[in-house]
Amino acid sequence: MRRPVLATASPTTGIARTLRALLIPSLALLAALLAGAVVMILSGDDPMAAYGGLFKGAFGDGKGWARTIRKTIPFVLTGLSVALAFKVSLFNIGASGQFVMGSVFAVAVGINFEGLPVYVHLPLALIAGIAGGLLWGAIPGILKVYTGAHEVIVTIMLNYVASLLGGWTVYAGGTQGQTPGPLWDRTAGAISETPDVLHSAQIPWLFGPPYRVHYGVFLALAAAILVWWLIFKTPLGFEMRTVGHNMRAARYAGIRVNFTIILTMALAGGLAGLAGAIETLGLNHKFAPEFGGAVGFDGITVALLGQTHPIGVLLAAFMFGALDGGAATMQFESGVPADIIQIIQALVLAFVAAPLIIRLIFRLRPQSQEDAGSAVSTSWGGT
Amino acid sequence: MSKNGPVSAFHRLRRRYGNTMIVALALVVMAVLVNVTPLKEQTWLRVLFGISALNFTLRATVPLVLGALSGILCERSGIINIGIEGMMLAGAFAGFVAKTSTNHWPLAASLIFSVVAAVAVGGLMGAVHALFSIRFRMDQIISGTVIIILALGTTSYLYNRDAIAEGKFSSIPIPGLAHIPVIGPVLFDNPPITYLALIMVVVVHLGLFYTRWGLRTRAVGEHPRAADTVGINVNRYRYINTSLGGMLAGLAGAFLVLEAVGQFQEGMTAGRGFISLAAMIFGNWNPVGALGAATLFGYTQALQNELLLAGVTQVPRQFISMLPYVVTIVAVSGLVGRVRPPAAEGKVYETEGSA
């Protein structure tokens, strides 16, 4: 396959391009924090105290940094999941469901197979998690290609199905003779949770308690590099981007559009599944229905804040990790409900998805076509 | 095939309203059969088609059909609205806040005020969505997502767990009609928003297909350039329709808080906005079709409820609770080539020369 010029051509130098790419997201974050302050003032809270507490909670000491890094890991992976799908003009709102499936599959391997050495058991459990997410991501891809069902609706419905399915695996049994779920911990009584993951399947600590940062941080980094390499350095990535830019042209050029769509959704699911597996094997060490995937929805914001670029996703995930890491301290120190973080995150999404608003607020000159917003998704019609 | 024969009439119905009408019709026939014949002695049939199941179906259908109508109004004018979930939640919350702060008013006045508040906030969210999509040229699906996340965050942030709404809408039997067997207690003995929702189906249908506003709305959604050429203000129609759509979603929220539950719960819409979208698609962007689809989805929710209450099955409850979601996936998957969205949907419209 020929390497086309359009994929690499750029009029500006690398540094200028990087700075320009950082401009809108940084201003969006700033604007969201300002707007969050306005919301707090309107509801009688003190934004200075809140943001002070937030910063202290996220970066104040070693434990704060550890918390921020710990929270960053799943954001990186779910952000990558959504970003990868965006590259192909697919909207993966299903990262939460894929996250849950990844957790369930990983834990199913992690609590069984006693006696396996770490270097066999842990990779096996991680791969199981990826497989779970892969499967859950492939379904909407397949349905989109063969039936035209829009991935937005299918992925959202699958989120609910995954959460119920996950709940069933640890179900403690019912009064009408319903059998308990297959992963339920028999010693837990009426509590719905799995037993602890065996030591041989736990991700080792990089910094042990009280810091609780595990080696999964390197897995997340590796995933970001891998996705960058896949998208920008492989023929497959070129095909993905072409399908994303213009599906009809891609089909005309002989690219296997249907295959690309299914594969992308599956890989996106696999990334979110890996997020679930890492959270389960590294941090929670078990699965319970409440270890669900709010991080899946946040993956959308992280992906857009990161301009759907893997390195951008890393930075955005770190920002979100800090926001989440500091939220509890903020609420404790200033009394401002931690839910304000959710509002700020939604505002970040709004501002970053509509660069025109940011240009209006900060009175920047309009610039080229980027302002037209990121046309990421297709209409219900499918193609 | 004769031109006016029953077969061709059937085909015409199917083409216009989608397959949903057939499903809904079959459901009604089964329900009548089971409830007026000795078949009702069978536990399973009673669970599946009893009066209680039908009542619950209608209760579950109301927010879905309102959400679907909301989607139809937006999308017929060319704006994709996946934010219905958020608009519903915002409406529900506004209704709740209005109700709790007017608890000391007479019940009827307080409830009506709360409905107005819910509808107004829903409309406001619709206007924001239109602003994002039109003025700021945001991708419409992203804009919808922003609406959802914003509504989730704001309602959780502002929700006061100690606040209690006192009283909710109660049933108003319609004299005469309420005594018809089976149909009476199901259709004509309901609280007001339920009646209003059914009336809205007719209103939106007549509005879309028999008024100047409707014709223009459809023109804007199908071929904005042509509409613009004959002097229709494309974006004005989109602003108006999206705001109206938001109001209907707000009404759905009002139904949840002021009629169905009586209180607010965080995230209480539980995916209804998304199922509404599926109902809209399944009903082929047609109000009557959407009612059929919403009834089908509502029925799966009722079934879930009845099966769990009756305790007649050993299937774990999680699988029963999956029903509405799985049926939704099957419904939107079984439609390839059979439905057609408005042609200009999701695209920013710019007058010539302004880009």
Q: Which of A171, A176, A347 minimises the CB distance to B314?
A: A176
- Residue A357 forms contact with B (CB below 8 Å): yes
Structural tokens at position A105: 């599959």
Chain A: give the shortest CA distance to residue B287, in Å. Answer: 18
Residue B39 falls within a domain, yes or no? yes
Report the CATH number that the domain containing residue A165 is assigned in CATH. Answer: 1.10.3470
The better pLDDT of the pair A177, B69 is held by B69
pLDDT digits (tens, 9 = 90+) for B295-349: 888 988 888 888 877 777 778 888 888 888 998 898 888 765 566 778 888 778 8
Report yes or no: B61 and B283 within 8 Å, Cβ to Cβ: no
Biggest CA pair distance of chain B: 71
A298 lies in which domain range?
46-335
Mean pLDDT over B275-303 rounds to 88
Report the CATH number that the domain containing residue B117 is assigned in CATH. Answer: 1.10.3470
Contact check, Cβ <8 Å, B340/A149: no
**Cross-strand partners of A205:** A214
Q: What SS3 state is found at B262?
A: coil
Residue A24 falls within a domain, yes or no? no
Residue A23 falls within a domain, yes or no? no
Contact check, Cβ <8 Å, A174/B333: no
Count of Cβ atoms closer than 10 Å to residue B11 Cβ: 12
Q: Following DSSP, what letter does each residue of A130-186 receive, concatenated?
A: HHHHHHHHHHHHHHHHHH---HHHHHHHHHHHHHHHHHHHT----TTSPPPPTT--G
Contact check, Cβ <8 Å, A164/B132: no
pLDDT digits (tens, 9 = 90+) for A300-336: 889 988 888 999 999 999 999 999 889 889 999 888 8
Band (B145; pLDDT cuts 50, 70, 90): confident
Structural tokens at position B34: 């089971």
DSSP state of A381: T
Structural tokens at position B222: 């199908």
* pLDDT exceeds 70 at position B115: yes
Structural tokens at position A252: 């005309």
Interface predicted TM-score of the whole assembly (ipTM), two decimals: 0.86
Of the residues A153, A158, A175, the best mutation for testing chain B's interface (the one with the most B CB atoms within 10 Å of its CB) is A153
Count of Cβ atoms closer than 10 Å to residue A201 Cβ: 29
Report yes or no: A312 and B123 within 8 Å, Cβ to Cβ: no
Task: Write out residues in chain A with pLDDT < 50, as ranges.
Answer: 1-10, 369-375, 381-383
- Residue A349 forms contact with B (CB below 8 Å): yes
Count of Cβ atoms closer than 10 Å to residue A16 Cβ: 11
The per-residue pLDDT of chain B, averaged, comes to 85
Residues in CB range of A74: below 8 A, 6 or more apart? A99, A275, A276, A278, A279, A295
- The one-letter code for the residue type at A340 is I
Residues of B in contact with A156 (CB under 8 A): 271, 274
Q: How far apart are CA A341 and CA B156, in angstroms?
A: 11
Structural tokens at position A256: 């296997």
Structural tokens at position B289: 């079709």
Domains in chain A, number: 1
Q: Please report which helix (H) or strand (E) contains residue A205, including its range.
A: strand A205-207
Of the residues B128, B161, B318, the best mutation for testing chain A's interface (the one with the most A CB atoms within 10 Å of its CB) is B318
In a 10 Å sphere around its CB, with 0-12 CB exposed, 13-18 middle and 19+ buried, how is residue A228 labelled? Answer: middle
Residue B301 falls within a domain, yes or no? yes
Residue A56 falls within a domain, yes or no? yes
B250 lies in which domain range?
17-159+196-333
Identify the weakest region by mean pLDDT among B158-172, B201-215, B288-302, B306-320: B306-320
User: Which residue does chain B place closest to A91, by CA atoms?
Assistant: B141
Residues of A in contact with B136 (CB under 8 A): 354, 356-357, 373
pLDDT reported for residue A247 = 87
pLDDT reported for residue B257 = 94
Dihedral of CA B308/B279/B18/B245: which sign? positive
Domains in chain B, number: 1
Residue B183 falls within a domain, yes or no? no
Residue A1 falls within a domain, yes or no? no
Residue A373 falls within a domain, yes or no? no
pLDDT reported for residue B26 = 75
Closest CA to A307 of A272, A343, A267, A358: A358
Contact check, Cβ <8 Å, B329/A375: no
Residue B174 falls within a domain, yes or no? no
- Percent of chain B exceeding pLDDT 70 equals 90
pLDDT reported for residue B85 = 93
The better pLDDT of the pair B152, B44 is held by B152
* pLDDT exceeds 50 at position B221: yes
Tell the residue number behind the tokens 């192909």, with chain if given: A88
Give the Cα-Cα-Cα angle B234, B236, B241 (nearest 5 degrees). Answer: 100
pLDDT reported for residue A293 = 61
Contact check, Cβ <8 Å, A153/B329: yes
Tell the residue number behind the tokens 């990089």, with chain if given: A206
Residue A156 falls within a domain, yes or no? yes
Chain A: give the shortest CA distance to residue B170, in Å. Answer: 31
Residues of B in contact with A152 (CB under 8 A): 82, 141
Checking DSSP bridges between strand A213-214 and strand B189-190, what pairing results, if any? Answer: unpaired
Contact check, Cβ <8 Å, A357/B136: yes
Q: How far apart are CA A184 and CA A288, in angstroms?
A: 9
Q: How far apart are CA B108 and CA B117, in angstroms?
A: 14
Report yes or no: B252 and B260 within 8 Å, Cβ to Cβ: no
Residue A6 falls within a domain, yes or no? no
Closest CA to A217 of A274, A285, A294: A274
Of the residues B129, B282, B332, the best mutation for testing chain A's interface (the one with the most A CB atoms within 10 Å of its CB) is B332
Report yes or no: B76 and B241 within 8 Å, Cβ to Cβ: yes
Residues of A in contact with B149 (CB under 8 A): 297, 301, 342, 345-346, 349
Mean pLDDT over B158-174 rounds to 85
